[in-house]
Each structure stands twice: as structure tokens, then as C-alpha cells.
Amino acid sequence: MNKDDFLKLQYQTLREEIKETKARIFKITGFGVTIIPATQYIGQIYKVDILLLALPLLTLIVALIYISENQCLYRCGMYIRDHIEAQVPGVMGWEEWLQTPASSGPRLVGRYKAWAFRLLFVIYFLVSVCLASQYASSNYGWLVGIVVGIAYGLFWTLGCLYDC
């Protein structure tokens, strides 16, 4: 296999990975915005303790999976730009074009989408922690409610460290 064939194969493989990653991101987003509120609703209506107490963890897990997939997408694009498109002199490839100021800033739409998703899940997470703490306080005592809130605060911190 010569260099050109290798670069072409890498490019095609990474574009397929980007396509699959975008499909997974769409599914994760759909899952998150429907299942998390539905889980909270079912937990409250049917008084399922474990659902109400585990909801913040579910929210954090969905958000971390989304962030992980988004990072994969970004890495694929950067590899294409830095290692494949750079091998074709005199031609501006798609990934390089996305980084130029003429395209409304580097990956501006993708960044807005990522921040909107993060904001949505921060709100979901905070609301679910409040509900879980309130539920634990009313059913098991105020000390358990505080412990639940602190535990999820630690999960949040670990999640933020993972995102860095």
C-alpha cells in the first residue's frame, strides 16, 4: 500500500467514524431529553425510591457519554485536518475550512450545540439532585438528604474533572 492509498483509506475510515459518532450523539441526546424527565415522572408517580435517588447519577452518566462522543468527533476532525489534509498541498480541506474565521469562527455551531446540551443537563442534574435530596430528607431524615446532596456533589466534581 502506498502513501496516497493509506491516506485515502484513513480519510474514509475517519469520515465513517464521524458519521457513526454523530448518529450516537443524536441517540444520546434523544435518550437524555426524554428518558431523564420520564424517569423522574415515573419515580414520583409510582413512588419508586431507587429511580428518584439514582436520577442524578443517570443524568451525569448520560452527559458524560455525550461529552465523550463529542470529544471523539472533535479528535477525528482534528486528525483529518492535521495529518491527512495537510498532506495535500494547495487545497483547503473541510476540516481546515471549518477552522477559518470566514466560516463564522472555529466550529461555532458545534460549540453552541455542545454548550446548550451541557446547560440542559446541568439544569437536569441540579433539579434531580434537589428532588433526590428532598425525597431522601422527607422519607429517611434530613441527614440522609444532606448525604445524598453531598454524594451527588462529589459525582458532579468527578464528572467535571473527567470533562477537562
**Residue 76, φ and ψ in degrees, nearest 5:** -60, -45
**Chain mean position to CA 104:** 23
Q: How many domains does the chain have?
A: 1
pTM of this prediction?
0.77
Q: pLDDT 10s per residue in the chain (164 long)?
A: 898 899 999 999 999 999 999 999 999 989 988 998 899 899 889 988 888 888 888 888 888 898 889 889 889 999 999 999 999 888 888 888 777 765 455 556 667 877 888 788 888 888 888 888 988 898 889 998 899 889 888 877 876 666 55
The residue segments making up the domain with residue 154 are: 3-163
Q: Distance between CA atoms of 162 and 68, rounded to whole angstroms?
A: 9
Q: Distance between CA atoms of 90 and 127, rounded to whole angstroms?
A: 52
Q: Distance between CA atoms of 39 and 138, rounded to whole angstroms?
A: 20
